[in-house]
Structure 1
Amino acid sequence: MFEFIRPEIQQYFVESDKDGTPFSREIRSLVYQKAKGVRDTIAFGTKNDITAIGYEFSYHSLAPKHVREDENKVIFGGDCTKPYSASRLNISGISFGAISPNAIRALNKGAKIGNFAHNTGEGAISPYHLENGGDIIWQIGTGYFGCRYKNGRFNPEAFAENSSDDIVKMVELKLSQGAKPAHGGILPGVKVTEEIARIPMLEAGVDAISPPMHPEFSTPIGLLEFLAKLKNLCGGKPVGIKLCIGHRGEFMALCKAMIATGIIPDFITVDGAEGGTGAAPLIFADKVGTPINEAIIFVHNVLVGAGLRNRMRLIASGKVATGYDMLTKIALGADTCNAARAMMFALGCIQSLQCNTDKCPTGIATQNKHRWKSLDVPDKSLRVSNFHRRVLSDFSEIVGGLGLSSPEELDASHVRKYTDIGVSKSFAEIYPMAKTGELLDPAAQGVYADLWKSAKAESFN
């Protein structure tokens, strides 16, 4: 009995404001306060040890500036026939099936109210994504849910039909995700109802497993050719990829393929190994993949060194819950950020860690109608919109506090980290920074150049 109620005892009676994983009670409370529109200030100073090894912070300016609201919009697909003006903060991929119909409705309505985007996750576009008119980023995974034949291969006709809807603003091809890279997706059979099975074309009651890799291509050049096919089928909307960084030479091989083919993704979403999921093997979640800060600055540097950075946008996804989380990611090279679990907190998630059991007590991560029907869509959608607006406001205020007029002025020198007792360094000092086009020089040297020379556009191996 005590084993059964141990998590609740821990969460409600034992953990302090700094305890609780993956998100501390302090961060969860901050999200709830912003979502509800109540006071989120504190008294008596920070509770953090601000000189602890690993602590991140920024230097402020004695001449703070005002950041205009329009600085938090970014154009994706500038050379597309249908470019998209995106918010700097959007909802990361959470599939219908992983979360309930009312959770999808509330997230999408919140996106509509706040004028930001809602990523579908790999579980296909459901009717609940379309009810309230919020902008959609359609994510396609290795199972091609919503655009597949019965044998699991890609169905171009189904893709063209679904992607032609005006509510679909961009298409994201998922190669891997941070919580379970190289593993594929998992939707437990207990969540695969008749309705869920019908939308992505699955079998009810059976675990929905998307394969670890795409059956439509196996090489960097093949991946880019598939992207070009998607872009043609969707009528010229921005098309990009999502991945968690693993072997660094493989990403460099992809960049070499971009140079060789001239096919450039409109955006790359970089997912950190600390990213969330409703179901993942423990070892994959704990031990595989690259953390988001290290990953985003690596991708940014390689694209700069290859002369490709100004031709695409970068999205950072991985444990983004505050304005300062956004600042660190954008300073390290991202253009925008995605958040999933923080948006779920805004819906009312209490981090009960029951996502994979279909017994979510708040009606978010469940297909049990008795649980999810009590989730109040009008109320929760306002909370999602409130959270988005107030986090963006915090982000802008911090950027201005550093003496900058725009997030475009942020770089790795604006974030510092304690690397030893009494020693802090900027991220620009911690990580080697590439110069534009330097990897294209045959005489280039250094950690990036050595890996670059061994990468080949024809193979990920």
Structure 2
Amino acid sequence: MGKKSRALKAVVGAGAGAIAALASYDLAQRKHSILRNYPVIGHMRYLLEELRPELQQYFIERNWDGRPYDRDTRSVIYERAKGIHGEQAFGTERDVNADGYEWLTQSAAPVPLPDEPPRITLGGPDCSQPYSLSLLNVSAMSFGALSANAVRAMNRGARDGGFAQVTGEGGISPYHLENGGDLIWEIGTGYFGTRTKEGGFDPDQFAEKSQDDRVKAVSLKLSQGAKPGIGGVLPAAKVSQEIADARGVPVGEKCVSPARHQVFSTPTELIEFVARMRELSGGKPVGFKMCVGSRVEVLAICKAMIEVGTAPDFIVVDGSEGGTGAAPLEFEDHVGMPLTQGLMIMHNALVGTGLRDRIRVGASGKIAAGNDIVKRLIQGADYTNAARAMMMAVGCIQAQRCHTDRCPVGVATQNPRRARALDVDSKSTRVTNYQRATVDEAVRLMASMGVSHPSQLTPRMLRRNVDVHESQSYAELYEWLRPSELLNAAPERWRADWERASADVFPLP
């Protein structure tokens, strides 16, 4: 063998050794999930990050890197999760003169930042165990949709950051409990985790689990924004022993979440069931979540609260822009009310019926940055929940493979090898970092607007371009009801829906 051949073999051998060493390092390191699942070749993604915005934007525009959030929003989430200060050079990249562009109004006399971010108390007059809630929390995502490590990381992040994790309707798993973070237990139409053999609601199981100290509140899911009006199906092959234990269903059998609840069929029965759950839980806050379908339906629920003489402690409005791991395209894109309209209908209906002071309103649906929080507070919310942003904080790269069980970073999978890539220690810190930085920015935005608490925000502080010449505030664009106005004399635009609404039936629009 000649010298050139030996030299070539030496170079090839050295290269192979270097690649093997890099692969070994990638598999062992805990910082980057994608490198733990895709050693060596995964470095291409980080090369694109270094070359942005030009080359990275080429892929983003072709939807290779996910469509739900634009580049700027993704950058904010990732940088805050990593503890990087997220300021950027140059000016805005948005067309601030376009019709529909919205902005917050700053004050010539900003106020000092409060010592601590404001918190919201869940718990009306019938609640004996109120709960202090952050302005931003982990929205509902079930174990089964998320991996065990993703659930662990979010819960530990919530514990360390002082905010709550909503379980999703898949039940309370051991991974929700092991780190001691605050939980809001979501219960859907399948009653998973508190379910009889026949698929109904089991009050004894509910009483036992809801009185766990880690469960701070209970949320009854009526519908969700990404697929309102339908239930879900977990194929038999995905119903492992762990998922079966959490949900209270047989192993290896198809798990069906019906489209509607069995335990109530009218607005009155809904409110009575909420009151029953609160009693069974020992007086903890109980509320419900819904994607608003129509104004008359919301008014029917309000009438039921008045007739029954009690009310939920909170209502979460989920916008149609909310995400999910899998749903029919027609439902994702063409059913359900957007968060802005649904939130303002709920807020005004509660104000107009004199109920707003006793019920807290949450908003969920593409909440990602501080301005999203402030905008939703102005539109009628008291607090917000985020799902996709929290997934991104634990490493989601928006590959949109959630429904395939082939998540490349171990977030939305039940494959143990893929889930191993998500390191709980480092990702929980990122969840805490992201939430804290985002709430801090929301508080700083409010201070720049001249307010120190969300209760001081008004619709005049959010404006929208209505054409190339004029903008209007939300106070001008929308009708805002006065306290108990519907009970005294319903305004003309609300009168027909108010008269048609009944506590005895969920009406058609």
- TM-score bracket for the superposition, by shorter chain length: over 0.9
2:209 to 159, 162, 184: 162
- Following the alignment from structure 2 to structure 1, what is the Cα–Cα distance between the partners of residues 252 and 323? 24
Q: Quick one: distance in 2 between partners of 1:444 and 1:179? A: 32
Q: Find the counterpart in structure 1 of residue 242 from structure 2.
A: 195
Aligned counterparts of 1:320 and 1:17: Cα–Cα separation in 2: 24
The aligned amino acid for 1:131 is: E
Paired position in structure 2 for 1:458 = 504
Q: 1:233 maps to which residue?
A: 280
User: Do 1:231 and 1:239's aligned partners in 2 also have CA atoms closer than 8 Å?
Assistant: yes
2:311 corresponds to: 264
Counterparts of residues 318-337 of structure 1 (less than 5 Å): 318-337=365-384
Distance 2:402 2:448 in 1: 38
In structure 1, the partner of 2:457 is: 410
Give the C-alpha shift of residue 22 in structure 1.
1.3
The equivalent of 2:9 in structure 1 is none
1:279 to 326, 335, 357: 326
| 1:184 CA drift (Å) | 1.6
User: Which of 108, 121, 135 is the aligned partner of 1:62?
Assistant: 108
Pair 1:73-2:119 in alignment: yes
Q: Which of the numbers 491, 495, 499 marks the counterpart of 1:449?
A: 495
| AA aligned opposite 1:362 | V
Distance in 2 (CA, whole Å) between partners of 1:59 and 1:83 is 33
| Cα deviations by residue, 1:214-266 (Å, 9 ceiling, x for unpaired) | 00110001111111110111000000010000022111000000001112100
CA distance in 2, matches of 1:11, 1:141: 40
Deviation at 1:411, TM superposition (A): 2.0
Tell me if the contact between 1:242 and 1:268 (Cα under 8 Å) persists in the aligned partners. yes
Q: Size of the alignment, in residue pairs?
A: 453
Instruction: Quote the offset at 1:16 in angstroms.
Output: 5.1
Q: CA shift at 1:139, angstroms? A: 0.3
Residues 1:399 and 2:446 are matched in the alignment: yes
The alignment's C-alpha RMSD in Å is 1.8
Instruction: Name the residue aligned to 2:34.
Output: none
Whole-angstrom CA distance in 1 between matches of 2:234 and 2:358: 35
Are the equivalent residues in 2 in contact too, given 1:302–1:448 (CA < 8 A)? no
TM value normalised by structure 1: 0.95
Query: More deviation in 202-211 or 334-343?
Result: 202-211
Q: Distance in 2 between matches of 1:292 and 1:411?
A: 18
- Do 1:322 and 1:391's aligned partners in 2 also have CA atoms closer than 8 Å? yes
What is the distance in 2 between the residues matched to 1:448 and 1:268?
A: 21
Answer yes or no: is the 8 Å Cα contact 2:268–2:301 preserved in 1.
yes
Unaligned runs of 5+ in 2: 1-44, 49-54
Kept in 2: contact 1:399–1:406 (CA 8 A): yes
CA distance, structure 2, for counterparts of residue 16 and residue 59 of structure 1: 31
Determine if contact 2:66/2:399 at 8 Å carries over to the other structure: no
- What SS class does the counterpart of residue 149 from structure 2 fall into? helix
1:309-343 superposed Cα distances (whole Å, 9 cap, x missing partner): 00110000110000000001001110000000000
Question: Structure 1 vs Structure 2: percent identity of aligned residues?
Answer: 50
Return 5+ residue gaps in structure 1 as ranges: 1-7
- 1:340-380: CA deviations, max 9, x gaps? 00000100100000111110001000000000012110100
Alpha-carbon distance between aligned partners in 1 of 2:276 and 2:119, rounded to the nearest angstrom: 28
Deviation of the 1:78 alpha carbon: 4.4
Provide the residue aligned with 2:96 in structure 1.
50
CA separation in 1, counterparts of 2:141 and 2:353? 32
Task: Output one character per residue of 1:4-62: Cα deviation in whole Å (capped at 9) or x when no partner.
Answer: xxxx9997743259995211122111100000011311111111111112211012111
Q: Which residue of 1 aligns with 2:77?
A: 31
Distance 1:67 1:262 in 2: 40
* Superposed displacement of residue 198, structure 1: 2.2
Structure 1 contact 97–367 (Cα < 8 Å) conserved: yes
> Which region of structure 1 is more displaced relative to structure 2, 43-52 or 415-424?
415-424
Q: Which residue of 2 aligns with 1:103?
A: 150
Partner of 2:302: 255
Distance 1:191 1:391 in 2: 35
Alignment partner of 2:255 out of 199, 208, 214? 208
Partners of 1:152 and 1:12 lie apart in 2 by: 48
1:170 is displaced (CA, Å) by 0.1
How far is the alpha carbon of 1:450 from its aligned partner?
2.2
Measured against aligned partners, the alpha-carbon deviations of 1:90-119 in whole angstroms (never above 9, x if no partner) come to: 110000000000000000000000010000
Could you say which residue in structure 2 is the equivalent of 1:136? 183
Partners of 2:233 and 2:115 lie apart in 1 by 39
- Cα distance change, pair 234–41 in 1 and its aligned pair in 2 (3 A): same
Counterpart check, 1:421 vs 2:468:
yes
- Report the structure number with the largest CA radius of gyration: 2
Q: What residue is the counterpart of 2:10 in the other structure?
A: none
Report how far residue 207 of structure 1 moved: 4.3
Pairwise CA distance, 1:189: 4.3
SS in 2 for 1:374: coil
Give the aligned partner of residue 153 of structure 1. 200
Secondary structure at the counterpart of residue 254 of structure 1: helix
The answer to whether the 8 Å contact 1:30/1:40 transfers is: yes
SS in 1 for 2:404: coil
Note if contact 1:114-1:388 (Cα within 8 Å) is conserved in structure 2.
Answer: yes
Cα separation, partners in 2 of 1:227 and 1:78, compared to 1, 3 Å:
closer
Relative distance call for 1:17 and 1:447 in structure 2 (3 A) is farther
Which stretch of structure 1 is more off in the superposition, 223-232 or 17-26?
A: 17-26
1:5 aligns to what?
none
Superposed displacement of residue 69, structure 1: 4.3
